[in-house]
């Protein structure tokens, strides 16, 4: 968690700590495994197909996207200052955990009857565009993707209504993911700043803002297409899907609408992710997760590992409306 060198400066020393950020707790990869103590639903967020499609579409692309970011940033830990190198190692460990646990969630989406392969092919195509790019370019793409995921994570953590009345186990998964996204939100930014420390400030600014613009356009188009594909599989028509997604995401209180201002902050010269100080959300998330873990242990003493998603679910019976999963044996 570092403060950026000024983009008006030609310093080649890379990012450095200010006094306040030096007091931040070190990052840590939390030992988390996805638990699903109740029968998951296709529309697991309040029974809302549009809110659920947002999270489901993100989960479908996370494993491939996070693998790309790990490949992009991991080589830099050998070529950066000690603290940044340590942060990169923690970033990699956290993202590996996210990929693993979203594989579990994606298994549940498949078990529920969704075909998520079209969404996964899109993200494979996207990351494939960078395979022959320079190491700095891949790192820049990672930095921009991390800005998007961090502001969405902060919004989900800050506004409880986004996951209100959602299935317990999946809510726990997304809160854990959000905590770590916020915690490591500056690592790719700091690594890229260090990688291009020989560049002039104006050049760094022009490249990072241009990249964020392109990455954001791709994100909006492809994630919208992904959500609409899932809604199509739910039986929704094109226009009902599109209008429902716009209303859900950009209506009053929507994640997209509330994320516009922090997204724009990236375009401020001299921006650094920790200019948006949301450390309190990490503490809030950890407290919430501890409470949920304790509550689950008390409520389900007879279910070891809380009936993990993987291998314990089967698709709904025909005629059930396609919205409920059954735990095998029930």
What Å distances lie between residue 316 and 111, 136, 266, 322, CA to CA? 9, 47, 44, 6
- What tens digit of pLDDT does each residue of 235-280 get? 999 999 999 999 999 999 999 999 999 999 999 999 999 999 999 9
Categorize the per-residue pLDDT at 310 as very low, low, confident or very high, splitting at 50, 70 and 90: very low
Chain-centroid distance, C-alpha 292: 20
Query: What's the mean pLDDT in 206-224?
Result: 97
Categorize the per-residue pLDDT at 301 as very low, low, confident or very high, splitting at 50, 70 and 90: low
Question: What pLDDT was estimated at residue 298?
Answer: 73
Are 44 and 52 in contact by the 8 Å Cβ rule? The answer is yes
At which residue do the structure tokens 């075909």 appear?
115
pTM recorded for the entire structure: 0.84
Chain-wide mean pLDDT for the chain? Answer: 85
What's the length of the chain? 330
At which residue do the structure tokens 């709904």 appear?
316
Categorize the per-residue pLDDT at 131 as very low, low, confident or very high, splitting at 50, 70 and 90: confident
Question: What pLDDT was estimated at residue 40?
Answer: 63
6 vs 27, which has greater pLDDT? 27
Query: What's the mean pLDDT in 95-105?
Result: 94
Task: Tell me how far apart the terminal alpha carbons of the chain are, to the nearest angstrom.
Answer: 47
Kindly state the helix (H) or strand (E) to which residue 326 belongs, with its residue range: strand 326-327
Inform me whether the pLDDT recorded for 119 exceeds 80. Answer: yes
Inform me whether the pLDDT recorded for 320 exceeds 60. Answer: no
Inform me whether the pLDDT recorded for 99 exceeds 80. Answer: yes
21-35, 43-57, 219-233: the lowest-pLDDT one: 21-35
- What tens digit of pLDDT does each residue of 158-192 get? 999 999 999 988 999 999 999 999 999 999 999 99
Rounded Cα gap, residues 11 and 9, in angstroms: 6
Rounded Cα gap, residues 299 and 287, in angstroms: 18
Percent of the chain with pLDDT over 70: 81
Rounded Cα gap, residues 299 and 290, in angstroms: 14
Inform me whether the pLDDT recorded for 2 exceeds 50. Answer: no
44 vs 295, which has greater pLDDT? 44
What Å distances lie between residue 135 and 17, 69, 219, CA to CA? 25, 11, 21
Question: What pLDDT was estimated at residue 36?
Answer: 58
Question: At a CB cut-off of 8 Å and minimum separation 6, what does 297 contact?
Answer: none
């Amino acid at each position: 968690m570092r403060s950026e060198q000024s983009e008006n400066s030609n310093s080649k020393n890379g990012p450095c700590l200010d006094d306040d950020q030096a007091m931040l707790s070190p990052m840590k990869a939390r030992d988390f495994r996805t638990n699903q103590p109740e029968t998951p639903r296709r529309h697991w967020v309040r029974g809302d197909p549009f809110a659920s499609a947002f999270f489901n579409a993100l989960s479908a692309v996370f494993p491939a996207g996070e693998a790309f970011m790990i490949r992009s940033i991991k080589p830099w830990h050998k070529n950066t200052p000690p603290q940044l190198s340590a942060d990169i190692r923690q970033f990699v460990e956290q993202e590996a955990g996210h990929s693993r646990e979203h594989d579990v969630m994606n298994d549940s989406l498949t078990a529920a009857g969704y075909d998520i392969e079209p969404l996964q092919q899109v993200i494979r195509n996207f990351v494939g565009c960078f395979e022959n790019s320079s190491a700095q370019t891949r790192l820049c793409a990672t930095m921009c993707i991390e800005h998007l995921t961090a502001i969405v994570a902060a919004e989900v953590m800050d506004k409880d209504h986004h996951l209100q009345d959602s299935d317990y186990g999946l809510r726990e998964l997304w809160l854990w993911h959000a905590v770590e996204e916020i915690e490591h939100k500056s690592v790719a930014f700091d690594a890229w700043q260090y990688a291009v420390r020989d560049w002039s400030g104006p050049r760094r600014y022009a490249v990072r803002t241009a990249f964020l613009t392109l990455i954001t356009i791709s994100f909006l188009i492809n994630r919208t297409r992904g959500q609409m594909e899932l809604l199509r599989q739910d039986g929704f028509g094109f226009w009902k899907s599109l209008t429902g997604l716009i209303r859900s995401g950009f209506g009053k209180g929507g994640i997209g609408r509330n994320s516009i201002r922090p997204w724009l902050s990236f375009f401020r010269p001299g921006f650094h992710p920790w200019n948006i100080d949301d450390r309190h959300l990490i503490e809030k998330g950890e407290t919430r997760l501890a409470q949920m873990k304790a509550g689950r242990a008390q409520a389900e003493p007879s279910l070891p590992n809380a009936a993990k998603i993987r291998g314990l679910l089967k698709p709904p019976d025909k005629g059930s409306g396609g919205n409920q999963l059954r735990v095998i044996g029930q």
